Amino acid sequence: MGASHPARAHSPRRLTITRREEAGVTVLAVGGEIDEDTGTQFRQELLPDGGPPAPYTVVDLTRVTFMDSTGINVLITAHHALPDGGWLRLAGATGIVWRVIELVSLHQAIPCFPTVQQALHA
Max alpha carbon distance in the chain (Å)? Answer: 40
Residue type, 95: G
Res. 6 pLDDT band, cuts 50 70 90: very low
Specify the DSSP element, H or E, that contains 35: none
- What are the pLDDT digits (tens) for 23-49? 999 999 999 999 999 999 999 999 998
Domain ranges of the chain: 16-46+55-111
Distance between CA atoms of residues 75 and 71, nearest Å:
6
For the domain made up of 16-46+55-111, give the CATH fold: Transcription Regulator spoIIAA (3.30.750)
Distance between CA atoms of residues 67 and 77, nearest Å:
15
Specify the DSSP element, H or E, that contains 42: helix 39-46
